[in-house]
Amino acid sequence: MDTIEQLIVCGGCNAKIGPGNLGELLADLPKSQDENLLVGFDSTDDAAVIKLRDDLAIIQTLDFFPTMVNDPYLFGKIAAANALSDVYAMGGEVLSALNIVAFPEEKDLAILKEILRGGAEKVLEAGAILAGGHSIHDHSVKYGLSVTGTIDPNRIYQNNTCQAGDHLVLTKPLGVSIITVGYSAGEISEAGFVKATDSMQTLNKYAMDIIRTYEIHGCTDVTGFGLAGHLAEMLNEQFSAEIQSKQLPYFEEAYAGAKEFILTAGGQRNRNYMEEKMNFVVDDFAIEELLFDPQTSGGLLVSVPADQVEALVKELQAAGIPAQDFGVVTERGKKDITVF
């Protein structure tokens, strides 16, 4: 069967509109006012949460993007895992999903079938219902999901509720966009590419099943704005953070690629937005690029009390989740993030 003819290196969350531009776009839009809207777009959180009753709320989110791999089945799995992740980042359970499809009229529909097969498998793995969807013709392939989840209104994890003294845990390695771009250019090995795609298609469900058994102050998933951008959202201009670069989880192939100046468009957008907010004590350009690198279906970024972080990381690692305690939330300083 034919596959997508050309790997689109700007695909995945690398195609996301930059945080600065997006903030300007949303700033003046009319905002819904409803006592049952517990989380909306004004908080830059991962998804919307609407209260149905005192013990039940629904989570609504959607995500889709162009392909970043040339295997349609793999693309479907990655795109679905990425879309489902927003529900897990809020601490919820996935209830149902709808397909979002853009597909060129002249392309072989067998390719689309493989994309949808990959997506359907991930929805089923999440224990959810795939209930339909919507498709249009477009000049490029795009796929994702609109997802509905459920949560107790009293147990919502938000992305901007960390506390000073919290430790920062990340559950997946950084560098997937550097790897997919480098692989398309023949500069990253097949083995490195497989490591990245295995990570991207892994549901954050398994990490959240463990995380929710601890006292969590804040949680988000790391996607298009990179670790630096999503951490800045978590700090919410109320706190700062210190990162220990030697404790960051990242793919060695991505670090080596960044050393060779394999860069991404999304990473440079993130750098332009975040650079003035950061203090790099460590002199390592590759580390900088890893922090700015857009993550497709990235890991969960968790803010957890210091007295619980060791047990949390140990349990995650025992479950095969490559989590690392890489930093700490501090009182507000001159910069959002300092990297040692």
DSSP 129: E
Q: Binding site: residue ranges?
A: 16, 43-46, 63, 86, 133-135, 221
43 burial class (0-12, 13-18, 19+ CB within 10 angstroms)?
A: middle
28 burial class (0-12, 13-18, 19+ CB within 10 angstroms)?
A: exposed
Concatenating the DSSP letter of every residue in 51-66 gives: EEETTEEEEEEEEEEE
Q: In terms of Cα–Cα distance, which of 167, 189, 178 is closest to 247? A: 167
Using DSSP, state whether 138 is helix, strand or coil. coil
Q: Binding site for Mg(2+): residue ranges?
A: 46, 86, 221
Distance CA 329, CA 304 (A): 10
Q: Are strands 337-339 and 239-243 parallel, antiparallel or unpaired?
A: parallel
Q: Binding site for ATP: residue ranges?
A: 16, 43-45, 63, 86, 133-135
DSSP-assigned beta bridge partners for residue 133: 99
Residue 122 has phi, psi (to 5 degrees) of -70, -40
Task: Read off the tokens for 105.
Answer: 């009229």
Distance CA 227, CA 291 (A): 5
Which parts of the chain fold into alpha helices (H)?
19-27, 72-89, 109-125, 176-184, 190-200, 205-211, 226-235, 252-259, 265-274, 285-292, 306-318
Q: How many CB atoms lie within 10 A of CB 33?
A: 7
DSSP-assigned beta bridge partners for residue 243: 327, 339
Distance CA 173, CA 323 (A): 8
The catalytic residue positions are: 13
- Side chain identity at residue 47, one-letter code: A
